[in-house]
């Protein structure tokens, strides 16, 4: 059962400008430590940050909150990878609370993420599903 769907499109050049203008302050405010470590090790770190920024926007839409709003903040959502390499979201704080509130009893939330980019655009789609507890990979 699909609980939420969100998508977002980000202009990578906008993130490049934010990195130039605000530098580490922007990075620390928006991205988790894990995301920062991953992006800083990449040749095109701006594209990596742009994809993660779009993922946070798409995830907040799937949660039905927007960001930063209703207790959901940028660093409450982070892109991580399952052992298979598939991207998913790791939620904490207000985002995790919202996910728990929207997940029906006896079900477990699963967050599927697809990420793509073609300079100068990065696009992400997030689908939050509820699966019977004990079936397949989850985000809890």
Digit-coded pLDDT (tens) for 19-70: 999 999 999 999 999 999 999 989 999 999 999 999 999 999 999 998 877 8
| Residue position matching structure tokens 């609980």 | 3
Q: Which residues lie closer than 8 Å to 118 by C-beta, 6 or more apart? A: none
- Does domain 2-132 bear CATH number 3.90.470.20? yes
Q: Is 16 annotated as a binding residue?
A: no
**If you ran DSSP here, which 8-state letter would residue 91 be given?**
E
Domain segments of the chain as ranges: 2-132
User: What pLDDT is attached to residue 67?
Assistant: 82
Q: Is 11 annotated as a binding residue?
A: no
**Separation CA 138–CA 140 (nearest Å):** 6
Three-state DSSP class for residue 28: helix
| Residue position matching structure tokens 């409450």 | 76
**Separation CA 111–CA 81 (nearest Å):** 11
**Separation CA 95–CA 90 (nearest Å):** 9
Three-state DSSP class for residue 117: strand
**Separation CA 116–CA 94 (nearest Å):** 27
Global confidence as pTM: 0.92
């Amino acid at each position: 059962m699909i609980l939420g769907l969100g998508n977002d499109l980000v202009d990578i050049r906008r993130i490049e400008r934010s990195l130039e203008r605000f530098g580490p302050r922007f990075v620390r405010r928006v991205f988790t430590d894990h995301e920062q470590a991953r992006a800083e090790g990449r040749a095109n770190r701006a594209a990596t940050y742009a994809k993660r920024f779009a993922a946070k926007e798409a995830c907040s839409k799937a949660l039905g909150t927007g960001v930063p709003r209703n207790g959901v903040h940028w660093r409450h959502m982070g892109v991580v990878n399952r052992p298979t390499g598939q991207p998913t979201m790791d939620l904490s704080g207000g985002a995790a609370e919202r996910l728990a509130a929207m997940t029906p009893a006896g079900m477990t939330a699963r967050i599927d993420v697809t990420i793509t980019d073609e300079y100068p655009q990065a696009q992400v789609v997030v689908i939050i599903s509820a699966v019977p507890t004990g079936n397949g990979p989850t985000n809890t």
